[in-house]
Amino acid sequence: MIFQRDFSLKKFNTFGIDVKAQFFSEIADVADLRHFYEIRSDNSPVLIIGGGSNLLFTKDYDGYVLQMKLKGIDVREDKENFYVSAAAGENWDDFVAFCVDHHFGGVENLSLIPGTVGAAPIQNIGAYGVEVKDTVFQVHTFNTQTLRNEVFDNNDCAFGYRNSIFKSKYKSELIIQSVTFRFSKKYNLNINYTGIANELKNRNLLNPSIADIRNIVCDVRNSKLPCPEILGNAGSFFKNPVVDKETFQRIENEYPDVISFEAEDGYRKIAAGWMIQKCGLKGFRVGDVGVHEKQALVLVNYGKASGNEILSLAEKVRSEVFNTFGLVLEFEVNIL
């Protein structure tokens, strides 16, 4: 492993924040992880990154930043399923495209989500009625404390809404090396989400293919969400709050046009973007930071904004939503 000192992370986070890592290196082989932790002689913090698409840096990182560059995809099958193992450093959307090209149904609704395969289970990424937990079979990890490889089955991962044990309980202990997905050979397309259903109707697609759904998702996302390579952002900055029946009824009584979705155990998930728009913040801008004009869930860097300026806007959004609805928005982005 070759470490670079005072390394700029501007190209390694999709907000394009120009901060530096004290030490930076790439992980191109699973042996590199073991070697690093075997020879590590200090207690400096370690940050594992993939595509940097879910990070907001507010200062330089005083420690080690390791970027996962592990590559490789392997396919096997049995009578009922395909099992596709992908290394943590594989680009997520490239992986989705691979699955669609091979007619493996289950992740097409997650097209164009930025990031890497290794980051997907951590956040339990989701979009258009699908979450990655629906197809994850096993997660292969490296334990930084025991220096051993550990495998977690789906049930062991404690997947929740934008959450897993890799984000909570074992956040600083486990590093994902690869993920194995299970795709049923009798897969049924998930086309119930309103945006997809409307597009299918508009395109007169009565029997859509997996590729049709991917194309629709890509078109819808491109029409609403800014490309990080053009306009710095980290996708959805806030989680949709999940509320009980009483809280939802209170909000619906005051705002009959509330946009919401079913959640588990009778709870409702309220669209955070709708709340932000109701607060008059959609398209709001101050200096080089702003709320995106087409999707209020997305905060953007219009140029040379600092991480603290973006965080300040995020706090303003949270304050306005709380004052209006009495709900606290949780950050989906990791703040560093």
What is d(CA 192, CA 101) in angstroms, rounded to the nearest whole number? Answer: 22
**Single-letter amino acid, residue 169:** K
Helices 210-224 and 194-202: crossing angle in degrees, nearest 10, is: 110
Q: Judge whether 332 counts as a catalytic residue.
A: yes
Per the listing, tokens 């809280």 go with 247
List 236, 306, 318, 320, catalytic entry: 236
Spot the catalytic one: 90, 108, 131, 332: 332
Q: Is 318 among the catalytic positions?
A: no
Q: Rounded CA gap, 163 and 107, in Å? A: 18
178 classed as catalytic: no
- Show the 3-state SS of 116-149: ECCCHHHHCCEECCEEHHHCEEEEEEEECCCCEE
- 33 to 36, 68, 151: CA distances (angstroms): 5, 10, 16
Q: Which of 25, 131, 162, 182 is catalytic?
A: 162
**d(Cα 277, Cα 58) in Å, to the nearest integer?**
26
d(CA 118, CA 70): 9
Write the single-letter amino acid at 119.
A
Collapsed DSSP state (helix, strand, coil) of residue 19: coil
Cite the active site residues: 162, 236, 332
